[in-house]
């Protein structure tokens, strides 16, 4: 993480100097860009090169001059660089925001500013919509449309937060509220409870043991992440957290809590459908309960499941409340039993110190054991991914040997694996001889994310040694759309070659996206694997997020290969190659 942050610092230095357009800066700009590239390609965290106590580099980084070293140290120590803060003040703040837009570098930002006096993202958007930007020399309709797309994308994401990043905070908020002796229940509803990709705000419902609610409101106001209270009533408080997200607290009566959970979980179209079904059966549903229309008698409200059951429906888990088919009577009578965290018997995509992981194979295996698993796949990178220290032949031998020893020592099943790069031409980064040695092979795209991606994945799936396609779309929620893919071709080939598709639980990946998982499940006979892609032992705990998110793909235990025991798993993995 720190490497990426620091690389960005040096890029910002270069961007600002480029906008200033002073001939004297040329040399400096090149040095900053070079420093950024070097950091992005370091095999280790930059802090590993530094003696933090004495504030100096203990190991040289090639190309790092005195000035770069000094700024790096300052950033690592204080999380800012004084010189950059000063430099930022030399250009309008709006230009810095413009630099955040994809497809918009310093050259264009400078051009827009100098020729059209555009000094903010907002002004740029308007200028494109008014057709001004298109008229500039060297810019056409096409590139203007592209920039506009990126602006819209930026607006959407800058106000919403990926569920994977906010999930730990949400759990802390719930447990913080429950610490108060008068709080009976505290649940976050809304899009977060449905585990939507991104969430717009936090909808917190709380019910108390007594009528006196003021103490609970006071407790809420002291939430550790609180920035400011924006509005306060007797049963509702609106506030803003440090990360900019709005949080709405609603205090609800105990006998209305279930109805409120149902109402505020949404989504809106699910609720509209549910209310229509209820109405046809003579019931009215609102945030306080469910009532007989004729008599106005209340027939439920304390518990959420009753709202569904009274009108003859099966309870629908929050992740399925998408307003599509989940309330159609046939579908609702046959809802799948969704995957549960206790079904998971192992994690098949993890990294160790052999590549870019922070923990040894032994440490990873011990943590897996502690989570109650039967096995773990250690799938380090291949050499093409230089940033990640991919393994060469000798290292592979050593790794295989170490795994054999550890399996005995720990009495635990460790799969000797790799996450092999799918190269630009669709070939894999190891030859078949090497691939045939692994217990498990995941093939992933890590470079050239836009180029010929469908064909490269199709080719990888046809390799007899590839069991799994890792994070198939390569999207990063809030940062980049997935690769352009003909997803149906990929599903078809996966079915035909019995290749398993990964559901990757990295917080900003969550890849395959859940709507595609559902599509795959509905139309094809496919198997999936749900993995954390952990780069340290703590990372294995991300399985909980993964299970919660991928319920949205309607996945059951049977769909996911790492719910099977070791013997069954081995059979599944061998099926493709018949080896």
Pick 162 or 258: Cβ nearer Zn ion: 162
Select from 266, 357, 390, 507 the one that contacts ligand DGT (CB under 6 A): 266
Provide the minimum distance between the beta carbon of 191 and ligand DGT in the complex, in angstroms, as a whole number.
Answer: 3
SS3 328: coil
Q: C-alpha angle with apex 81: 75 to 83, nearest 5 degrees?
A: 155
User: How do 283-286 and 246-251 pair as beta strands?
Assistant: unpaired
What is the closest distance, in whole angstroms, from the C-beta atom of residue 268 to ligand DGT in the complex?
Answer: 5
Show the tokens assigned to 152. 């819209």
Assess 266 for contact with Ca ion (CB under 5 A): no
For residue 440, which phi and psi values (nearest 5 degrees)?
Answer: -150, 135
Q: How far apart are CA 263 and CA 260, in angstroms?
A: 5
Q: How many residues bind ligand DGT (CB under 6 A)?
A: 12
Q: Which residue is nearest to Ca ion (CB)?
A: 190
Cβ-closest position to Zn ion: 444
Which residues within the stretch 309-348 sit at the binding site for Ca ion (CB under 5 A)? Answer: none
169 vs 444, which CB is nearer to Zn ion?
444
Instruction: Tokens for 381, please give them.
Output: 């990178």
**What letter does residue 578 receive in the DSSP assignment?**
T
201 touches Ca ion by CB under 5 A: yes
Residue 191 in the binding site for ligand DGT (CB under 6 A): yes
Q: Does 203 bind Ca ion (CB under 5 A)?
A: yes
463 binds Zn ion (CB under 5 A): no
What residues contact 375, with CB distance under 8 A and at least 6 apart?
A: 345, 346, 368, 412, 413, 414, 415, 566, 569
State which residue, 193 or 509, has the beta carbon closest to Zn ion.
509
Of 44-52, 87-95, 264-272, 452-460, which segment contacts ligand DGT by CB under 6 A?
Answer: 264-272
* Smallest separation, CB 204 to ligand DGT (Å): 11
| Binding region for ligand DGT (CB under 6 A) out of 199-207, 250-258, 391-399, 503-511 | 199-207
Stretches 258-266, 300-308, 425-433, 550-558: which one binds ligand DGT (CB under 6 A)? Answer: 258-266
Whichever of 110 and 321 has its CB closer to ligand DGT, that residue is: 321
Figure out which of the listed residues 190, 426, 478, 539 binds ligand DGT, where binding follows CB under 6 A. 190
Q: Tell me: does residue 256 bind Ca ion (CB under 5 A).
A: no
- Closest of 93, 77, 83, 92 to residue 32, by C-alpha: 83
HSE-CB at 395 with a 13 A cutoff on CA atoms is 14
Measured from the CB atom, is 444 or 514 closer to Zn ion?
444
444 belongs to the binding site for Zn ion (CB under 5 A) = yes
Helix, coil or strand: residue 244: coil
Q: Which helix (H) or strand (E) holds 468?
A: strand 468-469
Residue 420, beta-bridge partner list: 443
Beta bridge partners of 291: 284, 298
Q: Which of 11, 197, 203, 402 binds ligand DGT (CB under 6 A)?
A: 203
**Least Å from the CB of residue 264 to ligand DGT:** 4
Q: Does 439 bind ligand DGT (CB under 6 A)?
A: no
Residue 224: other Cβ atoms inside 10 A? 10
What string marks each residue from 148 to 187 as x (binds ligand DGT by CB under 6 A) or -?
----------------------------------------
What backbone torsions phi and psi does residue 69 show, to the nearest 5 degrees? -60, -45
Site for Ca ion contains 197 (CB under 5 A): no
**362 near Ca ion, rule: CB under 5 A:** no
Of 226-234, 260-268, 439-447, 492-500, the segment contacting ligand DGT by CB under 6 A is 260-268
Instruction: Give me the least distance between CB of 22 and ligand DGT, in Å please.
Output: 45
From the CB of 199, what's the least distance to ligand DGT, in Å?
A: 4
State residue 235 phi and psi, 5-degree precision.
-120, 0
Applying CB under 6 A, among 39, 46, 118, 199 the residue interacting with ligand DGT is: 199
Residue 461 C-beta: closest distance to Zn ion, Å: 16
**Which range touches Ca ion (CB under 5 A), out of 25-33, 61-69, 155-163, 197-205?**
197-205
Residue 444, binding choice from Zn ion, Ca ion, ligand DGT, none, Cβ under 5 to 8 Å by partner class: Zn ion
> Which residue, 256 or 533, has its beta carbon nearer to Zn ion?
533
* Binding at 268: pick from Zn ion, Ca ion, ligand DGT, none (beta carbon under 5-8 Å per type): ligand DGT
Strand runs labelled E in 257-328: 283-286, 289-292, 298-300
- Is 228:222 a contact under the CB 8 Å cutoff? no
Q: How far is the CB of 351 from Zn ion (least distance, A)?
A: 9
User: How far, in Å, CA of 10 to CA of 325, rounded?
Assistant: 49
Q: Is 201 in the site for ligand DGT (CB under 6 A)?
A: yes
- In three-state secondary structure terms, 576 is coil
d(CA 443, CA 463): 10
Which of helix, strand or coil describes residue 441?
strand
Which of 190, 289, 318, 478 binds Ca ion (CB under 5 A)? It is 190
Cβ atoms of 187 and 261 within 8 Å: the answer is yes
Partner residues linked to 283 by β-bridges: 292
Interaxial angle between packed helices 268-280 and 257-265, expressed in degrees from 0 to 180 and rounded to the nearest 10: 120
Asked whether the beta carbons of 182 and 216 are under 8 A apart, the reply is yes
Q: At what angle do helices 214-221 and 163-179 cross, to 10 degrees?
A: 140
Range list of β-strands (E), 396-540:
413-421, 440-444, 468-469, 500-504, 528-531
Q: Could you tell me which of 117, 116, 99 has the C-alpha nearest to residue 107?
A: 99
Q: How far is the CB of 198 from Ca ion (least distance, A)?
A: 11
Question: Residue 377, by phi and psi: left (phi above 0), alpha (psi -120 to 50) or beta?
Answer: beta
| Site residues (CB under 5 A) for Zn ion, limited to 309-368 | none
- Nearest approach, Cβ of residue 232 and Ca ion (Å): 16
Interface ranges with ligand DGT (CB under 6 A)? 190-191, 199-201, 203, 263-264, 266-268, 271
Interface ranges with Ca ion (CB under 5 A)? 190-191, 201, 203
Interface ranges with Zn ion (CB under 5 A)? 444
């Amino acid at each position: 993480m720190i490497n990426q942050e620091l690389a960005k610092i040096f890029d910002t230095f270069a961007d600002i100097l480029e906008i200033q357009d002073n001939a004297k800066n040329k040399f400096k700009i090149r040095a900053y860009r070079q420093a950024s590239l070097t950091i992005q390609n370091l095999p280790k965290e930059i802090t590993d090169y530094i003696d933090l106590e004495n504030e100096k580099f203990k190991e040289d980084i090639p190309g790092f001059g005195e000035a770069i070293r000094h700024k790096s140290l300052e950033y690592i120590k204080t999380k800012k660089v004084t010189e950059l803060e000063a430099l930022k003040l030399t250009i309008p703040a709006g230009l810095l925001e413009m630099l955040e837009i994809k497809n918009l570098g310093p050259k264009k930002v400078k051009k827009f500013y100098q020729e059209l006096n555009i000094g903010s993202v907002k002004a740029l958007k308007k200028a494109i919509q008014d057709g001004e930007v298109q008229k500039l020399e060297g810019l056409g309709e096409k590139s203007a449309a592209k920039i506009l797309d990126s602006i819209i994308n930026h607006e959407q994401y800058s106000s919403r937060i990926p569920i994977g990043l906010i999930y730990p905070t949400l759990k802390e908020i719930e447990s913080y509220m429950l610490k108060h002796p008068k709080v009976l229940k505290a649940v976050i509803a809304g899009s977060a409870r449905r585990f939507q990709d991104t969430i717009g705000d936090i909808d917190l419902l709380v019910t108390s043991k007594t009528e006196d609610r003021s103490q609970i409101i006071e407790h809420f106001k002291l939430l550790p992440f609180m920035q400011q209270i924006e509005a306060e009533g007797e049963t509702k408080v609106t506030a803003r957290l440090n990360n900019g997200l709005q949080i709405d607290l609603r205090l609800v009566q105990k006998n209305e809590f279930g109805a409120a959970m149902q109402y505020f979980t949404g989504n809106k179209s699910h609720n509209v459908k549910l209310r229509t079904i209820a109405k046809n059966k003579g019931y009215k549903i609102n945030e306080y309960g469910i009532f007989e229309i004729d008599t106005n008698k209340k027939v439920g409200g304390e518990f959420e499941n009753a709202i569904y059951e009274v009108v003859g429906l099966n309870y629908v888990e929050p992740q399925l409340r998408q307003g599509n088919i989940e309330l159609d009577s046939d579908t609702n009578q046959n809802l799948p039993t969704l995957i549960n965290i206790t079904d998971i018997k192992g994690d098949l995509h993890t990294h160790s110190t052999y590549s870019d992981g922070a923990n040894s194979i032994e440490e990873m295996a011990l943590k897996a054991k502690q989570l109650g698993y039967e096995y773990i796949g250690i799938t380090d990178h291949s050499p093409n991914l230089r940033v990640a220290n991919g393994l060469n032949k000798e290292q592979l031998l050593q790794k295989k040997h170490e795994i054999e020893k550890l399996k005995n020592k720990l009495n635990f099943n460790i799969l000797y694996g790799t996450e092999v790069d799918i190269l630009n031409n669709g070939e894999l980064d190891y030859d078949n001889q090497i691939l045939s040695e692994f217990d498990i092979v995941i093939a992933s795209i890590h470079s050239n994310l836009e180029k010929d991606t469908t064909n490269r994945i199709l080719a990888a799936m046809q390799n007899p040694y590839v069991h799994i396609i890792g994070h198939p779309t390569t999207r990063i929620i809030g940062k980049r759309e997935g690769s352009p893919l003909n997803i149906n071709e990929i599903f078809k080939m996966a079915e035909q070659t019995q290749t398993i598709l990964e559901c990757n639980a990295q917080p900003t990946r969550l890849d395959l996206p859940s709507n595609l998982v559902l599509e795959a499940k509905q139309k094809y006979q496919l198997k999936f694997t749900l993995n954390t892609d952990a780069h340290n032992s703590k990372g294995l705990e991300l399985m909980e997020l993964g299970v919660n998110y991928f319920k949205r793909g309607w996945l059951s235990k049977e769909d996911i290969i790492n719910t099977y025991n070791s013997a069954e798993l081995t059979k599944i993995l061998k099926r493709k190659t018949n080896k």
